[in-house]
Chain A
Amino acid sequence: MVRAVCLTLAAIAACIAFFLTVDLYLKEQFAQFGDAMETLCEKTENELANEGDADAVRMMWADKKRRLQAFIPHNDIAYVDYRLNEAFSYISTRNFPLALANLEIVKKMAGTMPDNYRLRLENIL
């Protein structure tokens, strides 16, 4: 009986700790990614972005993606991939307005995605 109580309480505590860690982790990862997107957006808006900038963001995303795949649905990651690749191809052809449109979408997603997995009433329902 005591063992069962301890086990249950330990499991609850471990879950709460895990949930908080994951929540903070996702928030931090997407904040970092959002900052990188912000910078790239500014450069694209000023028509200063080049393939080097795009590659830097691509590598950063590739690194984050590898770890995020454990915590968020892979479809969401694939959608970010799709938009980013489109933006990078526009940057390489110096089509800045279209690149900016895609980058703005990704930036917005980076801001809203962590909220999609947070414990909120609208997500529960």
Chain B
Amino acid sequence: MALIFVRTAIIFFTLLIVMRLMGKSQIGEMQPFEFVITLLIAELACIPMADTTIPLLYGVVSIVAMFILHQSMWLLDMWFKPMKAIVCGRPSLVITKSGIDEYQLKKNNLDVSDLIESMRAAGYFNLDDVYYGLYEANGSFSALAREQKTDSLAVTLIDGGKLNAHNMSVCGIARETLDSFLREQNAKLKNVLVMTVDGSGRVYFQKRGQPYKILRMAVNEKW
């Protein structure tokens, strides 16, 4: 029985480490250790239930092990604050007044499109609708919104140095127009972290390692 307990604990800590390494993209509204427990409890309860060759007690011991591990983690969080950062991680500030922090995104295994998706889910449809944006330790997105939000949907044209041909055709922007725009900004495609354009022609443009700029370009206002 002690064997089952130790094996459960090993799986628990392995999953916890893996979840922490995977970053916030894999968690979604739960602390990493809560997510690990959710993953394990279902299986631990299911296997002895379905497989009659395994004593039911094995499932019970594993679940009790999970309970003890959960309580221990929680108590460690309470008593030793750095433990919380180690186990649950810290919030990551991904949007600052200078724009997107690519390093923080990469650290959490996220990219610009994930960020834009999170922003849309939080009700912000343009990257400069917020002063600050951050991923909480549980993977949820929080933002300090600007007083005035833009009223047009921004479409991503360049994401992490890659061109989004589909969005360009949706916006009715020709490749030549974009190339000349990039030349004006003295930027190569691969050096552009993000470029979005909204229906009014307002462009959010950020080169890697530089602050973002708000520019304008001619669009057909189809959206």
Give A residues with C-beta under 8 Å from B.
Answer: 1, 4-5, 7-8, 11-12, 15, 18-19, 22-23, 69-75, 78, 117-120, 123-124
Contact = CB atoms under 8 A, between A and B. Distances in A.
Interface of B: 1-3, 5-7, 10, 52-57, 61, 64-65, 67-68, 71-72, 74-75, 78
Given A70-B57, A124-B10, A4 B71 contact: yes
B53 to A, nearest CB: 4
Nearest to B58: A73
A124 B3 contact: yes
A8 B71 contact: yes
Given A117-B3, A119-B2, A119-B6, A15 B68 contact: yes
20 contacts: A4-B71, A4-B74, A5-B75, A11-B64, A11-B68, A11-B71, A15-B61, A18-B1, A19-B1, A19-B2, A23-B1, A73-B54, A74-B52, A74-B53, A74-B55, A75-B53, A118-B2, A118-B3, A119-B2, A120-B3
Contacts of A73: 53-55
A73 B68 CA distance: 24
Contacts of A4: 71, 74-75
Nearest to B10: A124
A120 B6 CA distance: 10
Task: Summarize A's interface: helix, strand, loop or mixed.
Answer: helix
A23 B71 contact: no
Contacts of B52: 74
A89 B152 CA distance: 85
Nearest to B9: A124
A117 B1 contact: yes
B50 to A, nearest CB: 14
Contacts of A70: 55-57
Given A73-B55, A74-B55, A15 B5 contact: yes
Nearest to B56: A70
Nearest to A123: B3
Given A15-B65, A23-B1, A119-B6, 19 more contacts: A4-B75, A7-B71, A8-B68, A8-B71, A8-B72, A8-B75, A11-B67, A11-B68, A18-B1, A19-B1, A19-B5, A22-B1, A70-B55, A74-B54, A117-B1, A117-B3, A119-B2, A124-B6, A124-B10
B100 to A, nearest CB: 41
B78 A124 contact: no
A17 to B, nearest CB: 11
